[in-house]
Chains A and B, each alone.
Chain A
Amino acid sequence: MTSRPATVRVAAGQGFWGDWLEAPYRQVTGGPIDYLMMDYLAEVTMSILQKQKSRDASLGYATDFITQMERILPTVIERGIKVTANAGGVNPRACAAAVAAVAKKLGLSGKLKIGVVTGDDLLGRLDGLVARGHELKNLDTGRPLRDVRDRVLSANAYLGAAPVVDALRRGAQVVITGRVTDTGLTLGPLMHAFGWSGDAWDLIAAGTVAGHIIECGAQASGGNCLNDWEHIPDLANVGYPIVEAQAGGTFELVKHPRSGGRIDVAGVTEQLVYEMGDPQSYITPDGIADFTTIQLKQNGKDRVQVSGVKGKPATDKLKVSIAYFYGYKAVGTLVYAWPDALKKAQAADRVLRQRLEDLKLKFEAIHTEFVGATATHGPLALADFDASEIPEVQLRIGVRSADQAPVDRFTREIAPLILNGPPSVTGFAGGRPKPEEIVAYWPALIDRKVVEPKVEIVDA
């Protein structure tokens, strides 16, 4: 039997597709780590990738990951670091092939085993599933999927840590997945390294909490941290968080020495409550974590201990992320200056709405914001300051419709306001706003037993 390590270090490399390009390199070179986990998939990312794949069968994955791997692969192989990433999107095999090509280019052929996790993609099976009575009702609205079936662009079940564990057990050094949960990318390595069984619910919950804390990258190490934000040191060199776990499920959050940012109880607490629902029931495919059992303790500078996490058994359902075509939207902006900037912007909004009405354009929604006054705090802010003295206000008006025509017409109604609306207006250099297609998210549940994760090992 292989011996079990006393501690395992899982480092966060990317919190989303578009995160800091320097982070993965710094994580693999800045100090010892065992695993690098990289999260790329937001809710609608899959539909964008599906669109790319439909145009070119060799695409459909997070291309940034390939660039990242090219930079870190020599270090990863030299130090024996393992990588888990859901960069595979809707085409994990093509992503693995691209990584293999990079390994070859770097002269590392024969030194790398890549695990490929698939089975999450339900798009091709959708009609069969619906025909067999899986309604895939929208979790928010209760509507059955058949209402939008002809507009569905992607459908993926959230897989958990189990296939990641399987790939690691079979010797994969880089595990590339499709829609595996963010938390599964951290929990999988811990289950594998410590030999945690899939029904050790407290351990599963602990690994899930670890994954939740680091899945947004630097948001756990000083980034986007409100508490005492002005004193967080050296965000320019922010160190991304690392989970330093023990076999018993207790872990510490740390970061590499000589990196910026801060890891303290207040900041970790902020990240724990981020995107939280019912704290007693944080549901993943792997189990249910009870966030009201988490105990935090500052164990030193930039070192927070997390312990006491309790879990409950997994449910018999998996969440399915479906993306479908919804309609069109456009947002136009103009900037109004003092005196009475807000009043001028409000007047311009009235003029514009009158014109849209006179043109008999039909919209599902028209949404106006006055950026600088009410955009983020609504009317709450206005009670607290003298709005007539604001130096400038941005009028930001958006429309949404099932049809493109009214949205197109709307985009031509912004610029005229510069000459034929209220005065002191500027900030239109960007030109006419562009209508955008809306791809919307349809969350649903499906019986776990109809989803079969698959793991392949590819030699690079």
Chain B
Amino acid sequence: MTRGRAGRAGRAGRARRARTIRLVEIAHARSGDKGDTANIGLIARNPKDYPLLVKQVTAARVARHFTGMIKGLVERFELPNLFALNFLLHGALDGGGTISLKTDAQGKVFSTALLRMEIEVGR
């Protein structure tokens, strides 16, 4: 996994004005399942950080983050009223429910894996 590493070096020019943090520092989350799809609700701890989530935690970025861990597409929905984003990760649970051989067959802690994602914030 080269996640984040090369990207950070490549953004060195902007690094003077921005720093990289993990999502866990500004967001919390809960996840669950519907069949073979995991959902992750990502919530800004402080409403002022919600626009950061909207801008940087895109469906494409989340799909890249979970490369190798999910088989299907990622969909994103916005809940500005709750300062939250909802992601559907399709093909995430090895068939899901009782079929799945995964420890996390119901996607209960998928949310915490998303919180490892790095984003850029102003200083």
Contact = CB atoms under 8 A, between A and B. Distances in A.
A441 B4 CA distance: 38
B43 A273 contact: yes
A280 B43 CA distance: 17
Given A266-B45, A367-B101, A277 B34 contact: yes
Contacts of A269: 41, 43, 82-84
A371 B79 CA distance: 34
A369 B1 contact: no
B86 A376 contact: no
Interface string B81-123: 1111010100000111111011110000111110010000000
Most buried by B among A276, A291, A295: A276
Given A396-B103, A399-B101, A441-B35, A377 B116 contact: yes
Interface in A221-279: 224, 226-227, 266, 269-279
Interface residues of A, number: 51
A314 interface: no
A43 B43 contact: no
Contacts of A187: none
B83 to A, nearest CB: 8
A140 B88 CA distance: 13
Interface in A277-299: 277-280, 291-296
A270 B31 CA distance: 9
B3 A383 contact: yes
Interface of B: prevailing SS: mixed
Interface in A364-391: 365, 367, 369, 371, 375-384
Nearest to A378: B69
B101 A273 contact: no
A398 B101 contact: yes
A272 B69 contact: no
A276 B39 contact: yes
A271 B28 CA distance: 12
Contacts of A326: 98-99
A379 B81 contact: no
Given A399-B101, A443-B35, A270 B86 contact: no
Residue of A43, A44, A270, A384 contacting most chain B CB atoms (<10 Å) = A270
Contacts of B98: 44, 326, 438-441
Contact of B82 (A224, A273, A369): A273
Contacts of A270: 28-30, 41, 43
A140 B90 CA distance: 10
A440 B35 CA distance: 10
A400 interface: yes
A344 interface: no
Given A224-B30, A226-B29, A273-B30, A292 B81 contact: yes
B104 A375 contact: yes
Contact of B88 (A224, A271, A277, A439): A277
B43 A369 contact: no
A365 B113 contact: no
Interface string A395-414: 01011100000000000000
B36 to A, nearest CB: 6
A378 B68 contact: yes
A355 B4 CA distance: 38
B50 to A, nearest CB: 12
A272 B39 contact: no
A331 interface: yes
Nearest to A219: B30
Nearest to A295: B81
Contact of A273 (B68, B86, B102, B103): B86
B95 to A, nearest CB: 8
Contacts of B66: 378
Contacts of B83: 269
7 contacts: A226-B112, A273-B79, A367-B102, A376-B103, A378-B66, A396-B103, A441-B96
In the A-B complex, list the 4 residue pairs whose CB atoms are closest, starting with the nearest: A273-B41, A398-B101, A275-B32, A367-B101
